[in-house]
Amino acid sequence: MTNTLYPLPEHLGIEILRSEVGSTLHGTGLAGAEDHDEMGVFIEYPQTTIGLGSVEHYIWRTAGEGERSTPADTDLVVYSLRKWARLALTGNPTVLLILFAPEEKLVITTPIGHELRSHGAWFASKRAGRSFLGYMEQQRQRIVGERGGAGRVRVMPGGVVDWKYAMHMLRLGYQGVEFLRTGAITLPVPGDIGDHLRDVRQGFVPFEDVIAEAEQLEQQLQALLSGESPLPDEANRQAVEDFVIAAHLEAWRSVAEP
């Protein structure tokens, strides 16, 4: 993990949680080949919550605008708690990661952030599983060129495969299956599955086998969504809303006290 902390600008709010994300969190990156990705959550001040302003997220990159990140670079996104909660309730696979990252991958944590992480069950639902399936299907369609108009085709002329993209496609499938079965995500990806994903990342698995595996994972996800999953249909929106309100009030009291 990088030793440099790039802080949220103080005027935007109070950061309550930040974690490493990306391939290094999943354990699917290649040594020396990955940039450093972080995601955080902050509580807005009253001016942008009940006032007229609005701040939903903050993005910081050490690489210049339009430049590709290198292994020495950090990409940071920090969401307002309200924005993060809305995304998490829909089951966005990326924002859910911060709930399940191991302690050693946390960059910033506070009592409010710790409490949020203790309530991962609030966000466990079949709706979230449908998000995993949807993202995975889109990636498979793009990598074989079926959605070329909606995004970059990931097999280029000459048959060059974007193996990192292919690996993340399968990773979404495996994590989606685990999430629909247990309501949690194990990070980094453990055991033989992690080894297999790293093989895919390095191009050691035939492309046709990767696509067949993706289709099998989609079928598993569809079966879980059709009734095999023990998760409720929807996340616990009321519990999340109650927490978000209480967290804002607590944070505002802490900055108002002398």
Indicate whether 26 pLDDT > 70: yes
Domain layout of the chain by residue ranges = 13-123+235-256, 126-228
pLDDT given at position 153: 47
pLDDT given at position 154: 58
Phi, psi of 188 (to 5 degrees): -65, 170
Confidence band, pLDDT 50/70/90 cuts, at residue 151? very low
Averaged pLDDT for residues 83-91: 96
pTM for this model (two decimals): 0.89
Rounded Cα–Cα distance for residues 224 and 208 (Å): 25
Confidence band, pLDDT 50/70/90 cuts, at residue 189? very high
Averaged pLDDT for residues 99-120: 97
pLDDT given at position 145: 79
Averaged pLDDT for residues 93-105: 96
Indicate whether 77 pLDDT > 90: yes
Confidence band, pLDDT 50/70/90 cuts, at residue 1? very low
Averaged pLDDT for residues 42-59: 92
Residues pairing with 59 in the sheet: 77
| Lowest mean pLDDT across 34-43, 192-201, 235-244 | 34-43
pLDDT given at position 257: 61
Rounded Cα–Cα distance for residues 140 and 150 (Å): 13
Give 154 or 124, the one with higher predicted confidence.
Answer: 124
pLDDT cut 70: percent of the chain above it:
91
Q: What tens digit of pLDDT does each residue of 162-184 get?
A: 899 999 999 999 999 999 999 99
Protein fold of 13-123+235-256: Beta Polymerase; domain 2 (3.30.460)
Q: Give the type of residue at 242.
A: D
